[in-house]
């Protein structure tokens, strides 16, 4: 039995979900390949996700990645270390002197979104490097057990309002 468990992040597609989970002092990755294994209303709440995953075969074994799927007979199966953890390619980001932070010592204060893409971050980094003052800066990179692979990034939080489509189009166009 593991002591401290928490879902740190998730990436949800229609029928395939990837969860990053803290298990004591380790980070593990779980890929769920069938949409009906975890109900839609339970896919984003840490305690509900974990209640489902704790019933999966091999959950309490020692692994880094776990693939969860249904067999032809409809029974839930799992495979250990079938895929590698997904690193972030920091070479694509323009950062002069990156800071590195261990995810296990960071405290989550507020979640903005789990859906920020590498393309979006690369665009922000490019705008900052060109002197555009309204783009958030990359403050550092987050790793799990070693600095390579890097799994996430920390960005500056900019206070303000989010542009609205029609009302702010002119101001956005002028700014760009």
Q: Are residues 102 and 74 in the same domain?
A: no
Q: Are residues 13 and 73 in the same domain?
A: yes
Q: In sequence order, what are the beta bridge partners of 7?
A: 21
User: What pLDDT digit, counting tens, does each position of 70-115 carry?
Assistant: 999 999 999 999 988 766 666 666 556 578 877 777 766 555 555 5
Please work out, in degrees rounded to the nearest 5, the angle formed at the alpha carbon of residue 77 by the alpha carbons of 73 and 82: 130
How many domains does the chain contain in total? 2
Domain boundary among 49, 80, 111: 80
Show the domain range for 137: 90-155
Question: What residues contact 110, with CB distance under 8 A and at least 6 apart?
Answer: none
Q: Are residues 11 and 33 in the same domain?
A: yes
Q: What is the pTM of this model?
A: 0.63
User: What pLDDT digit, counting tens, does each position of 46-71 carry?
Assistant: 999 999 999 999 999 999 999 999 99
């Amino acid at each position: 039995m593991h002591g401290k468990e928490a879902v740190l992040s998730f990436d949800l597609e229609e029928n395939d979900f990837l969860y990053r989970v803290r298990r004591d002092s380790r980070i593990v990755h779980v890929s769920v390949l069938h949409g009906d294994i975890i109900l839609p209303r339970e896919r984003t709440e840490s305690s509900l996700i974990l209640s489902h995953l704790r019933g999966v075969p091999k959950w309490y074994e020692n692994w880094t990645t776990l693939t969860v799927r249904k067999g032809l007979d409809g029974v839930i199966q799992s495979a250990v270390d079938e895929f590698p953890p997904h690193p972030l390619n920091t070479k694509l980001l323009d950062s002069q002197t990156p800071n590195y932070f261990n995810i296990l010592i960071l405290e989550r204060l507020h979640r903005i979104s789990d859906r920020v893409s590498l393309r979006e971050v690369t665009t922000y980094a490019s705008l900052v490097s060109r002197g555009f003052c309204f783009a958030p800066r990359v403050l550092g990179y987050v790793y799990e057990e070693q600095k390579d692979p890097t799994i996430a990034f920390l960005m500056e939080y900019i206070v303000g309002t989010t542009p609205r489509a029609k009302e702010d189009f002119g101001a956005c166009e002028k700014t760009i």
